[in-house]
Structure 1
Amino acid sequence: MLRTVNRVALGLAGVVLLAVGGAALAAGAGLSVPSWWPWYGPGDVPLSTADRDRWRSESWWWPVVIAALAVLVLLALWLLLAQLRRARLADVVVDTGSDGDIARVRGRALEQAMEAEAESLDGVARARIALRRRGGEPEARVRLKLEPHASPAGTLRALTAEAVEHARASTGLATLPTTTRLHASRHAPTRVA
């Protein structure tokens, strides 16, 4: 989701900056601009003195401006904090047990192994797994798309006993907390003659 939000925010910011910059550049260069264009020539400003005075006298103007700017600042801070937070687990440290040696397993490799094992379960059409760090320990977030004949309870038990347990045991973790979301496959209706 963060990738989508980033792309939409950057796209909107780019379009707005391109439109405003293009308008200012065209007007400043003295180019012919349409009559509805906000700037007509090098001496024009975005808000004339009359416009500024008219809006200043309205009682609702300053609260709306301050609220809009506050929302923009909060949105920018939220995007900045989202960028700084690592979305996925980079690697899992595995203690080999001999002489304090450790090994590192890439988080994405472990996710792919868990996904492959989950998709091999009876009744699972598709599996998506993301490993995240919660309180210093890895946590798995699993999304399963179930086939129509699948038993949700049975599939969840098999997932826990096989894919999650194998990942936990292979990395030497004491626990691997898992949040699972189950979705049913939808079939297009078919006409029976």
Structure 2
Amino acid sequence: MSSSATARRAQGRSYGTERTLTVLVGIVALLAGAAALAVGMGWLGRFRAQRAVLDPLAVDWLRDHALYARIGAIVLGVLLLAFGLWWFFRSLRPERHPDLRLDQTPGAELTVTSNALSGAVRTDAEQLDGVNRARVRSVGTVAEPALRITLWLGEGTEVRRVWQDLESSVLTRAREALGVDTLPTAVRIELDTAGSARVR
């Protein structure tokens, strides 16, 4: 997997496949609707507009080949059912947070759980000046880990300074601990209003 793909995974779970399928289904439905409108309005001829939705020739062919039509319909239905179930469970599948195997030497294995990594980075991030709280998630793969960080800053905090401190201390320490040169990280910064004074 390329580093750019890992960086995209850090930014958020990819829904590209779902969006592509939705766009394709929408295009097919739009074309079918446009074709039905053109036929119904008589733009392709009045005789065609007055004919039944299902062509009589097609009805005659289906009547003459009823067995093959039923088999084809059953096979198509089974395929659509299998595809729908696969798509349903794929959409509900939770995002993976893999553990990181730093050493796979037999007898001396060293594994860092995703919770441990997230907790360590969150603790370091919350110690930065201006950061009220933080949330960290370990994403990516075992071979190419990535982080997703959300920081809630206090009012009046300088964002540029927090960003520099995060890179120079927190992320550098995480890269050194994991023994990697790059650690794709998506950072989301929000203003923490939980402790704001109530307006009277």
2: CA distance, partners of 1:144 / 1:120? 11
- Could you state the TM-score of these two structures normalised by the residue count of structure 2? 0.51
Report the equivalent of 2:192: 185
Which residue does 2:177 correspond to in 1?
Answer: 170
Scaled by the length of structure 1, the TM-score of the pair is: 0.53
1:93 corresponds to which residue?
101
SS at match of 1:127: strand
More helix by proportion, 1 or 2? 2
Amino acid at match of 1:87: E
Counterparts in 2 of 1:120 and 1:79: CA distance versus 1, 3 Å: farther
Structure 1 residue runs of 5 or longer lacking an equivalent are 3-58, 60-71
Question: What one-letter code is carried by the residue in structure 2 that aligns with 1:81?
Answer: R
Q: Secondary structure at the match of 1:153?
A: helix
Q: Deviations over 1:88-135 (max 9, x none)?
A: 423112149x99954111111010011111111111111001111159
| Percent of pairs with identical residues | 29
- Indicate if the aligned counterparts of 1:93 and 1:171 stay in contact, CA closer than 8 A: no
Q: Structure 1 residues 165, 77: CA separation in 2 closer, same or farther (over 3 Å shift)? A: same
Q: What does 1:149-168 align with in structure 2 at a 5 Å threshold?
A: 149-168=156-175
CA contact (8 A) 1:89 1:133 kept: yes
Mapped to 1, the partners of 2:139 and 2:154 lie a distance apart of 27
Give the structure 1 partner of residue 8 of structure 2.
Answer: none
Aligned mates of 2:84, 2:162 — CA distance in 1: 40
Q: How many correspondences in the alignment? A: 124
Show the counterpart of 1:108: 115
Is the CA contact (8 Å cut-off) linking 1:88 and 1:130 kept in structure 2?
no
Contact persistence 1:114–1:129 (CA under 8 A): yes
1:168: Cα distance to partner?
1.1
Q: Match of 1:123?
A: 130
Match of residue 90 from structure 2: 81
Separation of aligned partners in 2, 1:145 and 1:182: 6
CA shift for structure 1 position 176: 0.6
- Helix, strand or coil: the match of 1:174? coil
Give the 5 Å matches for 1:27-66: none
Equivalent pair of 1:90/1:108 in contact (CA under 8 Å): no
Structure 2 unaligned regions, length at least 5: 1-12, 14-52, 54-80
CA drift of 1:163 comes to 1.6
TM-superposed deviation, 1:79:
4.0
**How far has the Cα of 1:136 moved from its partner?**
4.2
> 1:188 Cα deviation (Å)?
4.2
Matched-pair contact (CA < 8 Å) for 2:153–2:191: yes
